[in-house]
Chain A
Amino acid sequence: MATEPLADTTALQAPAGWEEEAEREHVHGLGPWRLGLRRLRRNKVALAFGLLFVLLVLSCLAAPLWAKHVAHTTPEENHLSDTITIDGKKTNVVGLDGVPIGPQYLKADGEFFLGADPNGRDIMVRLLYGGRNSLMIGVAAALMTTILSVILGVIAGYFRGWSDTAIRSVLDILWSFPVVILGVALGVALALGGLQLGPIKIAGDSLAVPIFIIGLVYIPYMARPVRGQVLSLREKEFVEAARAQGAGPLRIMFSEIVPNLASTVLVFFTLLIANAVLLEAALSFLGAGVRPPNPSWGTMIDDGVERIATAPHLTIVPGLMLVLTVLSLNVFGDGVRDALDPRAKVRLEH
């Protein structure tokens, strides 16, 4: 980590004394979103990591371009008995002892940029396609958690009474399971036969299974704080005013309370993607997530760890991608939280 950008920023922490700051910079009258954006713009570290995440996503989206025009292969294509020309010498993609070639960078015109796996598949191509799966699962699962948590949290917090008790007890029970263990349990239960919810049918090896599992597992971690916030929002004057004007519960929930949850939801969503990507990797590593031959960063690390002694790049490369992605989301999410609500204690407990 370079020390340079750290020195001149208000990195990753709530700007102390923001009231004085408000006095100084004539920000009175600006809305909370404008203020937040202004604070975020000043947090160069968070912005840099946000940009890094966008770049990672874009490069994964460009996977077919790289595969077709640079690597000339697909993520599933084996090159077990192929040879490539490196520095004018013909080299086996997978050596006779079963050890694949390491990263070649541009020595073979971009083919096997990051080396090959024991089946002779191009790691760079698999990394980009795997990233599509990992990110897709991460975003979809985070979306599912967010939507369900907001619905549950708003219902529990707004109506209180028995619906609150019911929702809270179910969440408490889910919360009693360690995240990985609950994920694994669901993964094993769904691996054979998939899932059938009424008319929706999900096959056991579909990517929808890890999305469903991860999306479900994190609900208690988000629904609880949302509920807490709704509890305090429902006592606010503007809710009182809406009620006095004759607004029904649905109208109050959706046009008065939910918009006020926006900053919490935004921060949680960012951090949830990071955690979902990590959990996908953990589940795939244990064999309860993405099913081979679908590549994902987790399955790639899983394949790599067995051969770490002869071909460490198989483990290092997908892991680094994963760490960069999760780190960029964590730092950016942290910055967004500090910018939108410096005093907030929104935190996703691993």
Chain B
Amino acid sequence: MGRFVVRRLLQMILVLFAVSVLTFLIFNVIPNSDPAVRMSGRQASESTIQAIRKEWGFNDPLWQQYLTTMKKIFTGDLKSEFTQLPVGEEIRKGLPRTLSLAVGAALLWMFVAICFGLYSAVKAGKFADRFLTIIALVGISMPVFWIGALMNYYLGFKLGWFPNGGYVEFTEDPIDWFYHLILPWTALAILFIGFYSRVLRSNVLDTINEDYVRTARAKGLGERQILIRHVLRNSMIPIITLWGLDFGAVLGGGAILTETVFDLQGVGQYAAEAIGQLDVPPVLAVTMFSAFFIVFLNAIVDIMYAYLDPRIRLQ
């Protein structure tokens, strides 16, 4: 087990390095105009461009440029070219908000997807199954920012059932925090519910024909027991992997659209606002951090698997 963990962590570090190189390449080396011009935003004076070229060392050899960029990111030296606020600080400020969104939405989509997927599989081919399949397909076909905006308008603005966007700190008022997050959680969860319930349905249908399920039935276990303890448990493995990855993606700014629509001011919205101004440093930092989150969570999920299933350690 120890050896597996060390190997997996070394591999993770390698991937993190590669991710940082790719991010660097996207922003600094992509073959088009001068990176300094790109970095200075839409309307920059010649002196700003010169200052940025010097600051980022765009005349240096590539490896040195890479080091300069990474140093800027990791020492908190990175500043928005538009607001001049430090990027690291802004991301840290947005993180609790993004975390609130991600945790709540992830729990919601997992719970609902298990219910839908299991019910769908049990009723496979019947009306309920087809109906849920259609619902799931509608869910994965809706742009999250569109359904979010409509929910905000009809349920928040018109009916006044929910607050019209915004965020309240958990420490300030937990009930208001929850109340403000209901719509964002739902909007973000819809896509994943559609997707996860379909994956779970097909996994359950595969598992249901396994020998150990027949054995469980033969020894007289109740249907409910079989379904939850034998079928569901074994159908969950691929879903859990996805869950780890998607949670990492949402946490790292993948909820950029939801946050923007509901004005949550998290990491994603920070990036979204920077995009509007073509302000490169925040987008650069968020891009790298989101990939870091995914790689990191991927490693954690793998290690957890290896702990649960010894066969994986030997691969």
Contacts and interface: CB of A to CB of B under 8 A. Distances in A.
Interface of A: 1, 3, 6-7, 10-13, 16, 169, 172-174, 176-178, 180-182, 184-197, 204, 274, 278, 281-282, 285-288, 301, 304-305, 308-309, 312, 315-316, 319, 322-323, 326-327, 330-331, 334, 345, 347, 349-350
A181 B256 contact: yes
Interface residues of B, number: 66
Contact of A16 (B37, B125, B146, B249): B125
B26 A180 contact: no
B137 A286 contact: no
Contact of B252 (A1, A178, A187, A190): A178
B112 interface: no
Contacts of B33: 192-194
A315 B30 contact: no
Contacts of B290: 177-178, 181
Contacts of B34: 193
Given A197-B31, A286-B260, A327-B141, A181 B18 contact: no
B19 to A, nearest CB: 5
Contacts of B286: 181
B247 to A, nearest CB: 11
Contacts of A169: 18
Given A6-B131, A177-B294, A188-B275, A315 B138 contact: no
Given A184-B256, A190-B32, A309 B143 contact: no
A190 B33 CA distance: 9
Contacts of B37: 192-193
Nearest to B248: A178
Interface of B: 15, 18-19, 22-23, 26-27, 30-34, 37-38, 42, 124-125, 127, 129-131, 133-134, 137-138, 140-146, 149-150, 152-153, 157, 191, 195, 199, 202, 242, 249, 252-254, 256-257, 260-261, 271-272, 274-276, 278, 280, 283-284, 286-287, 290-291, 294-295, 298
A195 B32 contact: yes
17 contacts: A1-B134, A3-B127, A3-B131, A10-B125, A11-B133, A12-B134, A13-B133, A16-B124, A178-B252, A185-B26, A188-B275, A191-B278, A192-B42, A193-B34, A193-B38, A286-B257, A305-B261
A206 to B, nearest CB: 12
Given A178-B290, A322-B146, A189 B133 contact: no
A327 B149 CA distance: 19
Contacts of A172: 15
Given A178-B290, A349-B195, A315 B150 contact: yes
A177 B71 CA distance: 21
Nearest to B257: A282
A228 to B, nearest CB: 15
A209 to B, nearest CB: 10
Contacts of B150: 308, 315-316, 319
A305 B145 contact: yes
Contacts of A305: 145, 149, 261
- Best-surrounded residue of B38, B124, B141, B294 (most CB of chain A within 10 A): B141
For the complex of A and B, the 5 pairs showing the least CB-CB separation, nearest first, are A193-B33, A178-B254, A319-B146, A178-B249, A327-B141
A251 B250 CA distance: 44
Contact of B253 (A1, A178, A349): A178
A173 B137 contact: no
A188 B295 CA distance: 23
A192 B44 CA distance: 12
Contacts of A327: 137-138, 141
Contacts of B271: 181, 184
A350 B30 contact: no
A189 B38 contact: yes
Contacts of B143: 278, 281-282, 285, 301, 319, 322-323
A323 B142 contact: yes
A10 B130 CA distance: 9
